[in-house]
Structure 1
Amino acid sequence: MRRKLVLTLTTRHGSRQVFLHQILAYLLLIFILLSGLSFFVSNWLLVKTHDDLTDLERNHRDLSEQYELLLGTQQLYLSELTELGISLNDLSAERERLVEENEEVGETLARLESRLGLTEQPSGMTLEQRLALTRTAARQRLFLLHSIPNGVPISAERINDSYGMRMHPVLNTRKMHNGMDFKADRGTPVYATADGVVEYAGYRKGSGFGNLVVLQHNFGLKTYYAHLQKVLVESGTFVHKGQKIALSGNSGRSTGAHLHYEVRFMYRPLNPEPFLQWGLDNFETLFTKIEEVPWESLSVMYPLNQGGTQ
């Protein structure tokens, strides 16, 4: 018969016997249950910890990427700030240069306005408006300086006879001299004093002019070039101011090599002297000295012109 260890538990309700192997079985069962529970809890904690670590690694990686992105953005901002600083410095230097240039432009414009007679400008005009007005006035004056005879037609030694009454050197009688005589050697170039069209080019019989060139200009004006050695243009052709049109000589009724030069308005002779001296610097003088031409009617076409053209 096998020996068994028996424990007797006595309470007020009575006594109870418990065998040792039963106790061990209970303890073993409890141990197994606790071990199983511990295993599942540990596995759950391990899985959860692994997931947390994975999340932490992912968050760390995201944070690292964001940090690198922020570092790159910061470097980009620093680079842009540096470039902006350089651009601001360049802009400041450019502004100073433009201010200096504007001052120079203003001084130059003031001189041009003075030369063009635009001394009384409306108040409050901007620099661009003044430039536009000055440009328009300059174009008008240049057009008139190319359309109306001005300047000398030949590089001459001196003027022999001027416009007015004189004793004719050939006819030996007192007659009106309708032009000016420039003493010059034969073959000296003769130039057109304004743009125009050749009305006549050749020998003019019975006039005493000999070889003659007559140019028609704008506004009813004409110029005559007489006693020429050679004519270099043909009738009906256009010529421009400063173009060589002939060579001076001694043809016709003449006592020596020279150029006879006339300015006419509607076939009426005018004193060439004011035309010879007329230019941009004394633009208004012509319109007051030559009273035979109705300059005031030009104000309809060129309202900016002052003096006699208004």
Structure 2
Amino acid sequence: MKRNRSYYIILVLILFVVTYSAYAAYQKQKNGPVFLDNHVFQRYNEQWGLWVDLNAEKKSLLEKASEFGILAQEVMEINNLKESDLSRLKRSIFFPYSAEYMRGLQEKELFRETVESPIDQFIWPVLPNHKSRISSRIGRRWNTWHTGLDIAIPKNSVVLAAADGVVEEAGRSGDYGLAVKIYHHDMNHFHTVYGHNQELLVKPGDVVRKGQIIAFSGNTGKSTGPHVHFEVRFHNVYLNPENFLTPYEEGVATSIVGFAD
């Protein structure tokens, strides 16, 4: 009887330790910083690297792969490319970084920005930038209803996923131009939309993380200047994005930290 009681006490203690550890890990995730992709550190398919427009850089895939210390075949595989695709490539492709290249970036003391964001809160879809500003809010505008928040920002700026989710749509979408729609299962089944981009870096079915680059900003669709049109939807009801974000000045103000994840 005493032996059974001892086993019971040990089992209770083990369950307590496991439960407490899980709770502590959740709290750390809930209140921890979110690392933001920028023009040096970018993520795709859980790998670190960089989106590169080979035509703009006037370099071959082999030359750029060699620069990052990886094989051309690795680049082909992560981008689902065939040899026949290379001659007519008109978009950026993702180049993973080798471990050696990553160490070199750390030695140069390059940095990533962070924002403090609870797990159940969206982040602003743009990086801190003194040239960015809110140019239009949700509400009546020009005798129509403006369905989201416009953030004026220079063309080809980084556009970030506001929360973890799965890409539902990515492509040309009428007045939205090149747009991305993300489903956030863990955020009460909300959707977010990012419109008027210059180039999309994700496709339907991609799993994205909060702070991950999903596009380069632009002026496509019905637009009067380069900006990100950001929407929050719940069952196709348009909600005010600012109700789910920190105040603008606070939302884009970040601390600078060393390379970490």
Normalised to the residue count of structure 1, the TM-score between the two structures is 0.42
Normalised to the residue count of structure 2, the TM-score between the two structures is 0.49
Pick the structure with greater CA Rg.
1
More strand by proportion, 1 or 2? 2
